């Protein structure tokens, strides 16, 4: 076992030794694939189904970038181009000013719309309800629920970002409108088929398998909740296929990666998500700041999910970290794991 593998093994075992971790999987590779490490825990392996949760946002971002390249949309488009007036009415009222019609695709993609998140905010947030009962929401219901909460700031104001699933739920609906097809079919045409992903999908019916997810020590089956979050968090995959996708996302296989330079503004998310920044459809985690006590170098780019999933690239060392710790009670767990993995590679 090489030094690099020993370090990864030690970090993974330290994580899986935590009492709240019941199953986990980790896959680490470089871009060429001539270095590969994988390990499972609790019966999971690289081919076990994973609830991607918010990693799904990378798939929605990919569709937006591809459609942009094909001239089907612009990130400067106002959302009024894609939604009926009654859908947007009173969606974003901040300090008595209506910003609903000023929202653009870029605001949604970069989480700079200022819109609140119905799954995390409010006394009756959808995530808490889903822990006790499997709930299904359609797009119009999510828009209505969003209107019942206060926005955090005016769009693109003061280099602020606020993480809200509704931004990507709206982007998913825009993708469907532009492509004149369902989101699962667009994913299949633009991503799954080109990358030959046969075990990655958006569940559509009761017949589609949805993995159980742990909340503390209890295992929950929430297919309706998952199907409600299609564009923002409803994807299912495996560590093996997520690795194929995350490499394609950052290598320019599916779209011109120049888009990352064109949309290179990265804003800090709300304090509860420290030290994560958000940019053009993906997270950025600096490793040389207070979050690592200034002990790291470089950055991680990719996405984590509230279910414990993660898919990140560490450009400084040309390493991809993909996997799942399957624990909803602590969304910071996958981020901490990937940060620790990156820090272990500093020498």
Summary mean pLDDT of the chain = 93
pTM of structure: 0.96
Q: 310 and 323 in contact (C-beta within 8 Å)? A: yes
Which pLDDT does position 132 carry in this prediction?
72
Q: Identify the pLDDT of residue 154.
A: 95
Selected residue with higher pLDDT from 64 and 293: 64
Angle separating helix axes 165-179 and 139-147, nearest 10 degrees: 140
| Segment among 22-31, 82-91, 245-254, 285-294 with least mean pLDDT | 285-294
Beta strands in the chain (DSSP E): 24-29, 36-41, 50-53, 93-94, 97-98, 213-215, 218-220, 235-237, 267-268, 277-278, 283-286, 299-304, 309-314, 319-324
Read off φ and ψ for residue 52, nearest 5 degrees.
-70, -25
Task: Determine the length of the chain.
Answer: 347
Task: Specify the pLDDT at position 122.
Answer: 73
**What letters, b where the CB count within 10 A reaches 16 and e where it falls short, cover 232-257?**
bbbbbbbbbbbbbbbbbbbeeebbee
Domains and CATH numbers, the chain: 3-343 (3.40.710.10)
Percent of the chain's residues with pLDDT above 90: 84
Full DSSP string of 264-317:
---EE--GGGTT-EE-SSSEEEESSSGGGTT---SEEEEEE-TTSEEEEEEGGG
- Residue 42, Cβ neighbours under 10 Å: how many? 14
Cβ within 8 Å of residue 113, ≥6 positions away: 92, 103, 107, 151, 155, 162, 164, 167
The reported pLDDT for the residue numbered 124 is 64
* pLDDT at residue number 347: 61
Give pLDDT, residue 123.
Answer: 66
Q: Which residues share a beta bridge with 219?
A: 214
Cβ(150)–Cβ(96) under 8 Å?
Answer: no
Q: Quick check: 261 pLDDT over 60?
A: yes
Per-residue pLDDT averaged across 24-31, rounded? 97
* DSSP-derived 3-state class of residue 93: strand
Flag whether pLDDT at 293 surpasses 70.
Answer: no
Quick: pLDDT tens for 209-238: 999 999 999 999 999 999 999 999 999 999
Q: pLDDT tens for residues 137-185?
A: 899 999 999 999 999 999 988 789 999 999 999 999 999 999 999 999 9
Instruction: Answer whether 314's CB lies under 8 Å from 30's CB.
Output: no
High-pLDDT (> 70) share of the chain, %: 96
pLDDT at 89: 93
Mean pLDDT of all residues in 315-341: 96
> What is the per-residue pLDDT for 159?
83
């Amino acid at each position: 076992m090489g030094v690099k593998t020993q370090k990864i093994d030690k970090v993974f075992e330290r994580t899986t030794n935590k009492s709240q971790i019941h199953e986990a999987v980790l896959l680490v590779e470089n871009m060429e694939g001539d270095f590969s490490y994988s390990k499972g825990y609790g019966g999971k392996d690289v081919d076990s189904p994973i609830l991607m949760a918010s990693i799904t946002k990378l798939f929605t971002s990919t569709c937006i970038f591809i459609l942009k390249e094909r001239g089907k949309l612009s990130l400067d488009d106002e959302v009024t181009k894609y939604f009926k007036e009654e859908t947007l009415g009173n969606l974003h009222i901040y300090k008595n000013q209506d910003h609903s019609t000023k929202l653009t695709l870029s605001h949604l993609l970069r989480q700079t719309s200022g819109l609140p998140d119905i799954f995390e905010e409010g006394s009756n947030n959808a995530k808490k309800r889903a822990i006790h009962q499997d709930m299904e929401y359609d797009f119009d219901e999510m828009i209505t629920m969003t209107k019942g909460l206060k926005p955090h700031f005016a769009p693109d104001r003061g280099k602020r970002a606020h993480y809200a699933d509704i931004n990507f739920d709206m982007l998913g609906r825009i993708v469907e409108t532009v492509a004149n097809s369902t989101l699962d079919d667009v994913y299949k045409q633009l991503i799954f088929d080109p990358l030959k992903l046969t075990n990655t999908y958006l569940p559509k019916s009761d017949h589609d398998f949805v993995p159980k997810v742990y909340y503390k020590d209890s295992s929950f089956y929430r297919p309706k909740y998952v199907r409600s979050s299609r564009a923002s968090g409803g994807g299912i995959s495996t560590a093996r296929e997520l690795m194929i996708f995350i490499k394609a996302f950052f290598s320019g296989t599916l779209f011109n990666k120049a888009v990352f330079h064109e949309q290179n503004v990265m804003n800090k998310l709300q304090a509860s998500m420290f030290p994560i920044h958000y940019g053009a459809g993906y997270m950025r985690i600096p490793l040389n700041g207070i979050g690592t006590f200034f002990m790291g170098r470089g950055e991680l780019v990719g996405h984590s999910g509230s279910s414990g999933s993660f898919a990140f690239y560490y450009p400084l060392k040309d390493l991809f970290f993909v996997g799942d710790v399957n624990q909803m009670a602590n969304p910071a767990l996958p981020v901490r794991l990937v940060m620790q993995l990156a820090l272990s590679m500093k020498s």
